[in-house]
Amino acid sequence: MKFFIDTANLKDIKEANDLGILDGVTTNPSLMAKEGITGADNILAHYVKICELVDGDVSAEVIATDFEGMVAEGEMLAALHPQIVVKLPMIKDGVKACKYFSNKGIRTNVTLVFSAGQALLAAKAGATYVSPFIGRLDDISTDGMALIEEIRLIYDNYGYETQILAASVRNVMHIINCAKIGSDVITGPLSAIEGLLKHPLTDIGLATFLADFKKGNS
């Protein structure tokens, strides 16, 4: 399973990358705004900085919501750096733009996916990644993980190559359950990724080992 970090924060990206387990980065306009990155030129420059920090795919989201606008913006984003994946919203023109880019060999990530039907359309349009938002479904008392299961089943039934990129991942259990189901990728904040490290018995065991070593060597 690939690990993407879901942030525009360069420090967090570097931290996850230094751990040696990072496969890519996802961003969205809200994450850019959170880091105070505003204005087209600054946003584009920030994508390039992210691409220079990591080796894998970096999703950059279009702002346009019409087909022509998405195509123009997506082509400009894809030309920025070979690691850029064009992120498109799951709306009618987004599906059309996805098909357009897939015909041209430009990688895409169809975002804001909340149903199996939307994920089926994204695969039919040739999306490289589909991003179902687990956490936001959980937020409205709907089982986000059940959606990942449904999409896995449907994609496996037909051999769709679109990768399931479980998004809006908020915690360790989201990551573990995605791994059990067979999600191709998860994207979440540094806290969720680093949460995988933690177990109290590891900390207690290490403290005991170090204390015993000290006793024997003092």
What is the distance between the alpha carbons of residues 6 and 168, in angstroms, rounded to a whole number? 8
Cα 35 to Cα 84, 120, 218: the distances in Å are 19, 33, 49
Burial class (CB in 10 A: 0-12, 13-18, 19+), 15: middle
Measured CA to CA in angstroms, residue 154 lies from 104, 121, 168 at distances of 25, 11, 21
Does position 195 interact with ligand E4P (CB under 6 A)? The reply is: no
Cβ at position 33, least distance to ligand E4P in Å: 12
Please confirm, yes or no, whether 87 is among the known catalytic residues: yes
**Residue 88 touching ligand E4P (CB under 6 A):** no
Binding mask 163-192 for ligand E4P (x = CB under 6 A): ----xx------------------x-----
Q: Which residue has the tokens 């733009």?
A: 97
Size of the site for ligand E4P (CB under 6 A): 11
Instruction: Give CA–CA dist 109/163, Å, rounded.
Output: 9
According to the binding rule CB under 6 A, does residue 28 interact with ligand E4P? Answer: yes
Binding of residue 43 to ligand E4P (CB under 6 A): no
Rounded to a whole number of angstroms, the minimum distance from the CB of residue 175 to ligand E4P is 13
The dihedral over CA atoms of 60, 66, 69, 71, expressed in degrees to the nearest 10, equals 70
Binding of ligand E4P by 162 (CB under 6 A)? no
Minimum distance of ligand E4P from residue 86's CB (angstroms): 13
Alpha-carbon distance of 64 to 94, in angstroms, equals: 9
Asked if 109 contacts 129 with a C-beta cutoff of 8 angstroms, the reply is: yes
Catalytic choice (11, 87, 99, 180): 87
Among 3, 101, 133, 160, binds ligand E4P (CB under 6 A): 133
Cα(66)–Cα(164) distance, integer angstroms: 25
Q: Does 23 bind ligand E4P (CB under 6 A)?
A: no
**Choices 76-84, 91-99, 133-141, 174-182; region in contact with ligand E4P by CB under 6 A:** 133-141
**Smaller CB separation from ligand E4P, 177 or 187:** 187
SS3 of the chain: helix, strand, coil, percent, to 5: 55, 20, 30
Check binding of 128 to ligand E4P (CB under 6 A). Answer: no
Catalytic residue numbers read: 87
Write out the residues near ligand E4P by the rule CB under 6 A.
6, 26, 28, 111, 131, 133, 135-136, 167-168, 187
